[in-house]
Structure 1
Amino acid sequence: MTPDPSPSGTTPDTTAEAPAPACVLAFNVNDPTGAGGTGGDVATITAMGAHPLPVVTGVLMRDTAEVFDQHVLEPDAVVEQARSILEDVTTAAFKVGFLGSAEVVGAVAEILSDYPDVPLVAYLPSLAWMGDDEQQAYVDAFRELVLPATEVLVGNHKTLTDFLLPDWDSERPPSARELAVAAAEHGARHVLVTGIMLSAKGPQQFIDNVLASPQGALTGEKFELFETAFVGAGDTLSAALAALLASGADLHAAVGEALSFLDQSLDAGFRPGMGNVVPDRFFWALPPAEDDEGDGGEPTTETAPEEPKNVSRRVH
């Protein structure tokens, strides 16, 4: 009789498990367009090589053109989602998107306070669709409770100006550094400001996207402005940055790579409905375009002109 090589009678597993990718816990609403919200976070974080842990904070009623309304979850439901996965999985970064209500902001902030060493990327979208009182309560809570835990606050120049410097009355717009100083007063270490309008050069208009601290601008990218409206760009940029930080990238390098990823996602964007264009986060997975064939069935020597590099659409 051949002796059992395994004392327990089971077959030993000689295959070592592959190391897990860095995990990013993303708090966000469900966006049925898939452009932003949890769907956008999952697509972006996955495309960046990290693993998403999506925590739903509410449900948007919207299409690719506009937001109509929302359904907010109870804070306890949000907390239970997050605590359940945090007790099981090591999280390397947090991403905060739209949280729905001031009450949920408070609940999420309490969770974040238990993980002060985990980098947080917070994104503030435009909330113009909300009622005035509801919007004010939300931004007040976000400013006082989320910013103290934030490594990088991401947002459009106008949105961040209204949020951080609501009484700004100068004829010139505030600089990224001035926004960073205002954010630092509430505890945020950096701001990543998108959509800063630059002077036109000939017929072309350019925008700047700048990472800044209270000491000044640190890095960024300038892109050509096209009059094409997108939905989900801000969620894409912030989720990409969170995934890169989770994977151990230096902040400066992570910002450059996240902006490049956004640029290419927008360049490959598509219009699934009758509204705005959605970023394609998996542009890199598309097969190369086949050469056009001439009348004789042979590939022609003429090719379409190359798209200019580092050309981006408007970042919202």
Structure 2
Amino acid sequence: MTAITALTAQNTVGVFGVVETPPEFLRTQIRCVLDDIGTDAFKSGMLGGADNIAVVAEEIAAYRTVPFVLDPVMIAKGGAALLHDNAVDALIGVLMPLATVITPNIPEAERLIGRRIVDERDMVEAGRQVCALGASAVLVKGGHLPGTILTDVLIADGVEEAFTAPRIETRHTHGTGCTLASAIATRLAQGRSLRDAVADARAYLRAAIESAPGYGAGAGPLNHGVAITEIARG
């Protein structure tokens, strides 16, 4: 179930416009879902400004019995800014302490800690620094680094683990971060441990990329129905 934080005009080539949802209407959307249906997990993505971050934090804090995956969406794949400069402090100070795990990519982690990340060692140190800012656990995603092997680093409960896989050479990567965070939230909702939820989500994401339908002239969407397709095939 979705509470819409903003309307975007976009396609596979880029983002051409953003209209943010008024904070109190965002609150109404969230409460309508929670009061009637409830939820087994939260996942947040693009939030835009500090006012919407405050609303999301207040509503999650009032319903603090389920996992929360925080995807700190800051920059679109084409480079468009999706988080206001004045909202970074709110994300760190208000929302991050509520999260079960935060899932920054390299540019997002760099913005959170204020320095460059150039290799896996930097990723680990960045994860430690994000934890020091108040995060319970951090998954630093390494897709922006060069190389044929892609590495993500999970830091949770003082344990550091690297997840690696061969890079898939494709332009169809629209929404990979959102997909991964949503899949992690889904598996946490089903009772999986954080480590296993990350492993499962990465496997699902890989299958969704490998079977992407090939739409658009730019960064095309993934095949989010890949698991359903495999079940249908028997």
* 177, 185, 193: which one aligns with 2:132: 185
Alpha carbons 1:197, 1:206 under 8 Å: kept: no
User: Could you say which residue in structure 1 is the equivalent of 2:30?
Assistant: 82
1:69 partnered with 2:69 = no
Q: Tell me whether 1:279 sits opposite 2:228 in the alignment.
A: no
Identity %: 25
The one-character-per-residue Cα deviations of 1:15-67 (angstroms, maximum 9, x if unpaired) are xxxxxxxxxxxxxxxxxxxxxxxxxxxxxxxxxxxxxx211111011111111
**Shift of residue 251, structure 1, vs aligned partner:** 1.2
- So what's the TM-score if we normalise by structure 2? 0.87
Q: Distance in 2 between matches of 1:141 and 1:83?
A: 21
- The size of the alignment, in residue pairs, is 229
Q: Secondary structure at the match of 1:175?
A: helix
Once the 2 structures are TM-superposed, how far is the Cα of residue 171 of structure 1 from its aligned partner?
7.0
Q: Which residue of 1 aligns with 2:63?
A: 115
TM-score by length of 1: 0.66
Displacement of 1:225 in angstroms is 4.6
Larger radius of gyration: 1
Aligned to 1:286, the other structure's residue is in SS state helix
Change over 3 Å in CA distance of 1:198–1:57 after alignment to 2: closer
Alignment check: 8 A CA contact 1:194 1:208 kept:
yes
User: Secondary structure at the residue paired with 1:54?
Assistant: coil
- Pick one of 161, 182, 195 that aligns with 2:110: 161
Unaligned runs of 5+ in 2: none
Q: CA RMSD in A?
A: 2.6
* CA–CA distance in structure 2, aligned partners of residues 199 and 57 of structure 1: 32
Residue in structure 2 matched with residue 45 of structure 1 by the alignment: none
The answer (yes or no) to whether the contact 1:177–1:215 under 8 Å persists in 2 is no
Check 1:246–1:226 CA distance in 2 against 1; reply closer, same or farther (3 A cut): same
Residue 211 of structure 1 aligns with an amino acid whose one-letter code is L
1:98 aligns to 2:46 (yes or no): yes
Give unmatched runs, 5+ long, in structure 1: 1-52, 289-316
Letter in 1 for 2:128: V
More helix by share: 2
The alpha carbon displacement at 1:125 in A equals: 2.7
Cα distance, 1:68 vs structure 2: 1.6
CA apart distance, 1:148: 0.8
The residue number in structure 1 matching 2:142 is 195
Q: CA deviation at 1:158?
A: 2.8
